[in-house]
Structure 1
Amino acid sequence: MEVYTVTIATGTSEYSGTNNYIFVTLVGEKGESERTLLDNPGLDFCRGAVDQYKVTSPSPLGSVLLVRLEKQKYWVEDNWFCQYVKVEPPSGDKVLIFPCYRWLIGDVTVDLREGTAKTQMDDSLPQLLAHRKTELQERQKTYRWVTWAPGIPRCIEAKTEADLPQDARFDNEKRSDFEHSLQYALLELSLKKLAIRFGKSWNDLDDFKRIFWKLRSPIAEYCMEHWKEDWFFGYQCLNGSNPRMIRRCMKLPENLAVTPDMVQSSMAAGTNLDKELKAGNIYLLDYAILDGIPSNTIEGKPQYIAAPLCLLYQHPNEGLIPIAIQLEQTPGLDTPIFLPRDPPLAWLLAKMWVRHAEFQVFQLLSHLLRTHLVVEVFCVATLRQLPAVHPIYKLLAPHLRYTLEINCRGRTQLISANGIFKRVVSTGGDGLLILAQREYKVLTYHSLKPHTDFTDRGVSQLPNYFYRQHSLMLWEAIHSFVSGMVSLYYQSDHDVQGDLELQAWIRDISQEGFTECPNFGLSSKLSSREELSTLLAVAIFTSTVQHAATNNGQFDWCAWVPNTPCTMRLPPPTEKDLVTMEMIMASLPDVSQSCVQMAITWHLGRAQPDAIPMGQYTEDHFTEEQALELIERFRMELKEIEGHILSQNEGLQLQYLVLLPSRIENSITI
């Protein structure tokens, strides 16, 4: 008689425990143990419990290949979240760890593999190969592709988050916090609207201060004080909520009717526009993608959209400053060039229109499309094509946590036909989908790599571009970590080419997820370890660093509504001399729209109470020592980057701390 010691850990989140029957069977090379009932229902497997049992076998099992867990109802159905199972052989050999990290729902049987990461080529036993195949067949029935709308990345088939499998859902604490946070923000919004309704409506810009109650942040308040200043406008192009819009301008666009004389007064002494263009000191914001987008109608009133071009100059003393703004793509008598020397209100309103365009592009394209929807493709493909024992599944799993649910909530609550964007954003309704479709047509895999993105935009030498500096440091750390992991499990390029599961994964990504994307430029085959490492680095960078850069600061830059208005209620001005404060106030979002903008950006941009910081892994998918050493080295490198960023920000009145590794989540959860 052989006696094995079996340790089972139950999850620590609310409702993880169970009072149902739990059975275990050890499956070895030479046979199976007795099917063993592990507890008296209701006494063991409590939330956070680590329970130990003895399991017997009439004869030696040899190497333990699988742990079979069975859950059966006792009186009432009670789901169970199992973290892992440990098995200590009677010989006293090394304790084996079988990661689980999944819900057992209903009367169900689950077979767990030992935690050593293995590709399909590493397995030779028919039993283990069959296990891989069965696991993927079940997952492919559960996780299915669907086209939510034509011309954007495909997503998980789920009409609402309630249709998702339990393993893809928020924990109860996360769900409660998410819904409480939203209700809290909307309650304060309602109180503000009520208070203002019995007072006066917007008359001047200072009136917006009346919605700064408990929802506030140091940067939002700094923004409130400095938003009119040209240097601050330029700073936001570099380190605001959409830091990847700006690009170097070596030659003025033909549709930008700016002449050297117009901007001469903005130039430093002894230079002119032509010299600065050649020197590479002129930059451009071009919102051509907004041209012709149908605008929203809110409560029966039309909203307005412009497609501005904004010229900026890297001034040797004043920093990056705007020097000319044209509010439409086609020049003409009704499309004046706004300049810093114009009447102050005209110049201010022109900058507001640029920032309004910024709101549309950053929320729908830089944030939603280029992070949430791109990462969802990786998430669905990984769940469909890679078994839990696969090293690439283990590597990606922490970076896919909660992404399916938050995206489902986004589709139903934010961008649906009656969602928040339809209620308060100028591109709400048909416009947001058309805008996303335009971006998707030109989206490239190349542009998701930060190095090439900065080079292509010609911004590698821009000073005080903290987003660039920090994201490149983090990219190098991620790529180095991922390359180490890939080299650990793939000894050669041939191993990558021969991994059939991996090749099915890349086909699912390129041919299913990114279908209808003609210029994406991602091959449907992986030929080398470097190709694989770069692709994995892109997936992890996008789900961590890039998402943090566009999401985490949105309240800071949008809470002061005139700085980044979600909608405009009057068309762009056609005559500079006719701009008045009354026109500005009538253009900006009204009381209700302003309150919603502030509430939602706070709700979506706030730090999450259950956030798992980048590089911290609460689930131990990897068990082998070499992999754990690489993870620890990655953590140490992130700690060094954290120290460097903190040191760089010492003494700065306006700090850029969005990309501190401790403030970046491991996955897109909000």
Structure 2
Amino acid sequence: MYEYRITVKTGDRPRAGTDANVYVVLHGDANLKTPPTKLDAFFHDDFERGQTDVFTVKNIEFEKVSVLEIWKDDAGWYTEWNIDTVKIENLSGGWDAVFPVFRWIKSNVHYKFRPYDTCLPQDDIFPEQRTRELEDKRTLYEYSQLEPGFPVQALKVPPDEEFSFSYQWDITKKKLILMGTSKLKTLFRGDWQSVEDVESIYDDKMWLSDEKFGRQRFDGLNSMVIRLCTEVPPKMAVDDEMMRPFLQGLSLEEAIKSRRMFVIDHSIMDGVPTRPGVFSCAPIALFFRRDDGKIVPVAIQLFQHPAPDNPVFLLSDPKYTWILAKMWFNCADAQIHQSIAHLGFTHIVMEGFIIAAHRHLSQSHPIFKLLAPHFLYLIAINHRAIDKLMNPGGHIDNTLSVGRDGGVELIGRHRPLWQLDVDGTLPADLKARGVDDQEVVPDYPCRDDALLSYNAILSYVTKYVHLYYAADDVLINDPEIQSWRRDLDLPMEAGGLGVKGVPGSDGKFTSRDQLVSVLTSIIYTCSVGHASVNFKQYDEYGFPMNYPSWLKGDPPKDKSAKTERDILNAIHPRKAQMKVMLVSKILSERSTRPLGDFEVDYVYDPPAVQIQKEFREQLKNVSDVIKRRNETREYPYPYLDPAEIPNSISI
């Protein structure tokens, strides 16, 4: 006869605890099982939110538990109970196993779990339970388009997606705390008197530099838009005579043929609505790689079509005229960063993938367990951000040139252009833009550091997928993964996500490589991709002339000489800049664990646990490489060190 210890961990989420009576039956081999046993510790309030409770069950005939059966009655205040895990240990036989439940337990419903709770649907011995749970999930995770043109989001925040007790995100509270503890508020009095006055709140001696402006395209917040220039856009009014003085003896054609010219065309900004009385540009800019390998701007046209009041600004223009042209370019770039690169196509686009996973993949499915740590709090943070930051009159409305309505417009314009297999897949994106070669772009931290983590994720996902899908046929015959795949590129009007560029054919995966590609892109975007557009926000937006989120007055319409006062008149007033600094400081915080160190670990199957261990070791090696790189870099770039990258989009 054996004695078992049963350790039950109740979930840390609102209304997770229960006062009901909880019962278990332990099943062994040869149809042996225990009688129903009530789990109850005398003089102790069991099963409270976030609590771990331990019980002992004696006189059991079998050495190992093959199935845990657990249920609760309807006593107490709440009708459901949320369990994280149940661990069962044979105290005399040396056997133990974890049953990762991670479910809401309804009253008087018997739930059965095998150790590690991991199997494909075709191998599940409790198919009715699996089907019932997915049907319930579909009532909680409903597709919706919350704004015209947006990617798919959740109609409402499901209970499982709410913030835990230990992680609460309240931007209003954080702002008040930061204002109370920061010295910034003492610096925001009166009007700007000089550039030195602005530098007193955020010291950035490099903001005047063309090298800094060029470097922002490769280590800034919006570093995935610059392209190798194969021909000058016809709508940009430049010619060889105009450009030759800045190309170190090359003609414009020679510079293009030698792969030394680059272009950014923000045509997507053309005609986007802005806040009343505030202007924005739709600029085109050319950049040149000098003999020293540094890439600098050489020409900026602030609007799409040549006109007498839309000149091409050049390096040779008067100092403050050229500075203003760069500031107006960066202001347009900031609108695209916040609306497209950050909010629209990390935060919001990933939300649809989460909903589809919950609707079609059982929590027993190994692919659900792989993805789940990278979905933590994303739906909650998205809905909180839209409520607190994108609301009319909120932060985005007050600090971006395009305001809330323009931001919505930009996301809607970009959605039909975004492709998972290009924009959402790092190596393909770099190749499509012609910047994957180190000879073409020698110094590109957002490429070089990101690729290390991308390849680590790719290796991790490949091993994991091959563990559960021994061959392509096993994948092809998995009804849950194929149901999930179908929804990804099914048009919105037909009830899907409407994502373009999903590998596969006829709405199905036909090979494991296709699944690996999709999963790698999702995990990368939720971790490394988001880190690249988020955690440098304070460093970029903190100094108003470096990366202005909006500018006052009109963009320059001629090349007449400007003054320092023209610069000061264009930037945020002190009070508005303080708000930008406070929010960008909050958004640059890291509040969750680093990549691979999961807040909630769903994987307990021993071979998969070993694969996770190898992933963490590989990430440690990547971290060491990046730390060594930063020791010799002229400008260290710590933002894509895996030790600094959260697992999910949790802020």
Paired with 2:632 and 2:590, the residues of 1 have a C-alpha distance of 24
Paired with 1:24 and 1:13, the residues of 2 have a C-alpha distance of 21
Q: How many residues align?
A: 639
Instruction: For residue 299 of structure 2, give the secondary structure of its aligned residue in structure 1.
Output: strand
2:488 pairs with 1:509? yes
Asked whether the equivalents of residues 26 and 64 of structure 1 are also in contact (C-alpha less than 8 Å), the reply is no
Compared CA separation, residues 107 and 30, structure 1 to 2 (3 A): closer
Paired with 1:241 and 1:573, the residues of 2 have a C-alpha distance of 25
Compared CA separation, residues 515 and 258, structure 1 to 2 (3 A): farther
Paired with 2:285 and 2:167, the residues of 1 have a C-alpha distance of 41
Q: Which amino acid aligns with 1:49?
A: T
1:112 shift after superposition: 4.3
Give the alignment partner of residue 296 of structure 2, picking from 311, 321, 324: 321
TM-superposition CA deviations, 1:359-397 (whole Å, max 9, x none): 111111111111111211111111111111110011011
Compared CA separation, residues 660 and 614, structure 1 to 2 (3 A): same
Q: What residue in structure 2 maps to residue 26 of structure 1? A: 25
The farther-off stretch of 112-121 and 307-316 is 112-121
Paired with 1:17 and 1:292, the residues of 2 have a C-alpha distance of 49
Asked whether the equivalents of residues 154 and 512 of structure 1 are also in contact (C-alpha less than 8 Å), the reply is no
- 1:465-614 mapped onto 2 (5 Å cutoff): 465-511=444-490, 515=496, 517=498, 519-521=500-502, 523=504, 524-608=507-591, 611-614=592-595
Compared CA separation, residues 79 and 203, structure 1 to 2 (3 A): farther
Give the alignment partner of residue 295 of structure 1, picking from 274, 289, 298: 274
Paired with 1:507 and 1:240, the residues of 2 have a C-alpha distance of 36
Instruction: For residue 99 of structure 1, give the secondary structure of its aligned residue in structure 2.
Output: strand
Compared CA separation, residues 139 and 55, structure 1 to 2 (3 A): farther
Compared CA separation, residues 155 and 481, structure 1 to 2 (3 A): same
Q: What residue in structure 2 maps to residue 232 of structure 1? A: 212
1:518 shift after superposition: 7.4
Asked whether the equivalents of residues 490 and 499 of structure 2 are also in contact (C-alpha less than 8 Å), the reply is no
Paired with 2:604 and 2:24, the residues of 1 have a C-alpha distance of 22
Q: What residue in structure 1 maps to residue 197 of structure 2? A: 207
1:423 shift after superposition: 1.8
- 1:51-62 mapped onto 2 (5 Å cutoff): 51-54=54-57
Compared CA separation, residues 381 and 19, structure 1 to 2 (3 A): closer
Paired with 2:24 and 2:394, the residues of 1 have a C-alpha distance of 49
Q: What residue in structure 2 maps to residue 639 of structure 1? A: 620
1:103 shift after superposition: 6.0
Paired with 2:332 and 2:298, the residues of 1 have a C-alpha distance of 17
Paired with 1:477 and 1:245, the residues of 2 have a C-alpha distance of 24
Asked whether the equivalents of residues 420 and 499 of structure 2 are also in contact (C-alpha less than 8 Å), the reply is no
Q: What residue in structure 2 maps to residue 266 of structure 1? A: 246
Paired with 1:80 and 1:41, the residues of 2 have a C-alpha distance of 20
Q: What residue in structure 2 maps to residue 138 of structure 1? A: 136
Paired with 1:9 and 1:540, the residues of 2 have a C-alpha distance of 30
1:533 shift after superposition: 0.7
Paired with 1:568 and 1:176, the residues of 2 have a C-alpha distance of 30
Q: Which amino acid aligns with 1:394?
A: K
1:105 shift after superposition: 8.7
Instruction: For residue 226 of structure 1, give the secondary structure of its aligned residue in structure 2.
Output: coil
Paired with 2:290 and 2:94, the residues of 1 have a C-alpha distance of 69
Compared CA separation, residues 142 and 482, structure 1 to 2 (3 A): same
Q: What residue in structure 2 maps to residue 661 of structure 1? A: 642
Paired with 1:340 and 1:54, the residues of 2 have a C-alpha distance of 80
Q: What residue in structure 2 maps to residue 97 of structure 1? A: 98
Flag the structure with higher helix content: 1
Instruction: For residue 168 of structure 2, give the secondary structure of its aligned residue in structure 1.
Output: helix
Q: What residue in structure 1 maps to residue 161 of structure 2? A: 168
Q: What residue in structure 1 maps to residue 225 of structure 2? A: 245
Q: Which amino acid aligns with 1:137?
A: E
Q: What residue in structure 1 maps to residue 265 of structure 2? A: 286
TM-superposition CA deviations, 1:450-477 (whole Å, max 9, x none): 1110010001121111111111111111
Paired with 2:399 and 2:545, the residues of 1 have a C-alpha distance of 14
TM-superposition CA deviations, 1:571-598 (whole Å, max 9, x none): 2111111533333223222223212211
Compared CA separation, residues 103 and 179, structure 1 to 2 (3 A): farther
TM-superposition CA deviations, 1:473-532 (whole Å, max 9, x none): 111111111011111101111111110011111122222679585754555211111101
Paired with 2:575 and 2:501, the residues of 1 have a C-alpha distance of 39
Give the alignment partner of residue 427 of structure 2, picking from 451, 466, 487: 451
Asked whether the equivalents of residues 103 and 166 of structure 1 are also in contact (C-alpha less than 8 Å), the reply is no
Q: Which amino acid aligns with 1:561?
A: P
Asked whether the equivalents of residues 188 and 578 of structure 2 are also in contact (C-alpha less than 8 Å), the reply is no
1:294 shift after superposition: 0.9
Give the alignment partner of residue 365 of structure 1, picking from 340, 352, 357: 340
Instruction: For residue 167 of structure 2, give the secondary structure of its aligned residue in structure 1.
Output: helix
Q: What residue in structure 2 maps to residue 425 of structure 1? A: 400
Q: What residue in structure 2 maps to residue 183 of structure 1? A: 176
Compared CA separation, residues 558 and 176, structure 1 to 2 (3 A): closer
Compared CA separation, residues 579 and 485, structure 1 to 2 (3 A): same
Asked whether the equivalents of residues 72 and 106 of structure 2 are also in contact (C-alpha less than 8 Å), the reply is no
Q: What residue in structure 2 maps to residue 84 of structure 1? A: 85
1:618 shift after superposition: 4.0
Asked whether the equivalents of residues 503 and 509 of structure 2 are also in contact (C-alpha less than 8 Å), the reply is no
Paired with 2:120 and 2:94, the residues of 1 have a C-alpha distance of 24
Q: What residue in structure 2 maps to residue 161 of structure 1? A: none
1:182 shift after superposition: 3.1
- 1:270-419 mapped onto 2 (5 Å cutoff): 270-297=249-276, 302-317=277-292, 319-419=294-394
What runs of 5+ residues in structure 1 fail to find an aligned partner?
159-163, 213-220
The farther-off stretch of 407-416 and 37-46 is 37-46
TM-superposition CA deviations, 1:510-569 (whole Å, max 9, x none): 226795857545552111111011110011001011000111111111111111111122
Q: Which amino acid aligns with 2:168?
A: R
Give the alignment partner of residue 596 of structure 2, picking from 601, 611, 615: 615
What runs of 5+ residues in structure 2 fail to find an aligned partner?
none
Paired with 1:136 and 1:14, the residues of 2 have a C-alpha distance of 21
TM-superposition CA deviations, 1:10-35 (whole Å, max 9, x none): 35969899572441222645666314
Paired with 1:614 and 1:71, the residues of 2 have a C-alpha distance of 39
Identity of aligned residues (%): 28
Compared CA separation, residues 456 and 363, structure 1 to 2 (3 A): same
Paired with 1:133 and 1:517, the residues of 2 have a C-alpha distance of 25
Compared CA separation, residues 169 and 439, structure 1 to 2 (3 A): same
TM-superposition CA deviations, 1:377-425 (whole Å, max 9, x none): 1111111111111100110111111111001112111223332111221
Paired with 1:176 and 1:279, the residues of 2 have a C-alpha distance of 50
TM normalised by structure 2 equals 0.91
TM normalised by structure 1 equals 0.89
2:256 pairs with 1:256? no
TM-superposition CA deviations, 1:35-85 (whole Å, max 9, x none): 41422363445655351321677x8799633431427555x6598653311
Asked whether the equivalents of residues 162 and 377 of structure 2 are also in contact (C-alpha less than 8 Å), the reply is yes
